[in-house]
Chains A and B, each alone.
Chain A
Amino acid sequence: MESVVRLEDVSVHYYTFTGVVKAVDRVTLDIPRGEFVSFVGESGSGKSTLALALLRLVPPPGRIVSGRIVFNGMDLLSLPEQKMRELRGKSISMVFQDPMTSLDPVRKVGEQIADVYIEHGVTTDMEEALKLAREALEMVGIPGDRVNYYPHQLSGGQRQRVLIAAAVALKPSLLIADEPTTALDVIVQAKIMDLLEDLMKELKMSVILITHDIALAAERSDRIAVMYAGRVVEYGPVDAIIENPLHPYTRGLLESAPDLWGEKRIKGIPGNPPDLRNPPRGCPFHPRCPRRFDPCDKDEPEYVKVDDRIVSCHLYTR
Chain B
Amino acid sequence: MSLVHEVIVVSVLLSVRGLKKYFVQGGGILGGEKEIVRAVDGVSFDVKRGETLALVGESGCGKTTTGRLVLRLLEPDEGEIIFDGVDITHMSMKELRPFRRRMQMIYQDPYASLNPRKPIGEAIAEPLIVHGLAEKEEAKEQAMKMLERVGLTPAEDFYDRIPSQLSGGQRQRVVIARAMILKPEFVVADEPVSMIDVSMRASILELLKGFQEEYGLAMIFITHDLSVARLVADKIAVMYLGKIIEYGPVDKVLRDPRHPYTAALATAAPSITMRRRKRLDIKGEIADPRNLPSGCRFHPRCPYAREDCASREPELREMGDGRLAACHYPLEEGFLKRWLKG
Taking Cβ atoms with an 8 Å cutoff, the residues of A that contact B are: 42-43, 155-158, 185-191, 212-216, 218-219, 242, 252-254, 256-262, 264-270, 272-273
Contacts and interface: CB of A to CB of B under 8 A. Distances in A.
B61 to A, nearest CB: 9
Interface residues of B, number: 41
Given A189-B268, A215-B270, A261-B273, 15 more contacts: A43-B197, A186-B58, A190-B281, A216-B270, A219-B271, A257-B272, A260-B226, A260-B254, A260-B269, A268-B202, A269-B200, A270-B203, A272-B167, A272-B169, A273-B199
Nearest to A270: B203
A268 B198 CA distance: 7
A216 B268 CA distance: 10
Interface of B: 58-59, 167-170, 197-203, 205-206, 224-228, 230-231, 254, 264-266, 268-277, 279, 281-282, 285-286
Contact of A190 (B198, B226, B227, B268): B268
Contacts of B264: 187
A198 to B, nearest CB: 14
A157 B198 contact: no
A14 to B, nearest CB: 17
B202 A267 contact: yes
A74 to B, nearest CB: 35
12 contacts: A156-B285, A186-B269, A186-B270, A187-B282, A188-B285, A189-B268, A190-B268, A191-B281, A215-B272, A242-B275, A256-B202, A258-B201
Contacts of B203: 268, 270
Given A185-B286, A265-B231, A256 B201 contact: yes
Contact of B230 (A155, A254, A260): A260
Contacts of A254: 272
B170 A272 contact: yes
Given A254-B272, A258-B231, A268-B203, A186 B197 contact: no
A258 B227 contact: yes
B272 A273 contact: no
A268 B272 contact: no
A256 B193 CA distance: 12
Contacts of B286: 185
B196 to A, nearest CB: 9
B157 to A, nearest CB: 14
B285 A155 contact: yes
B200 A272 contact: yes
Contacts of A215: 270-272
B168 A43 contact: yes
B77 to A, nearest CB: 26
B230 A268 contact: no
B58 A268 contact: no
Q: Which of B169, B279, B285 has the most CB of A within 10 A?
A: B285
Give the one of A157, A187, A191, A265 with max B CB within 10 A.
A187
A213 B84 CA distance: 40
Contacts of A268: 199-203, 206
Contacts of A273: 167, 197, 199
A287 B228 CA distance: 27
A259 B273 contact: yes
A265 B276 CA distance: 22
A43 B200 CA distance: 11
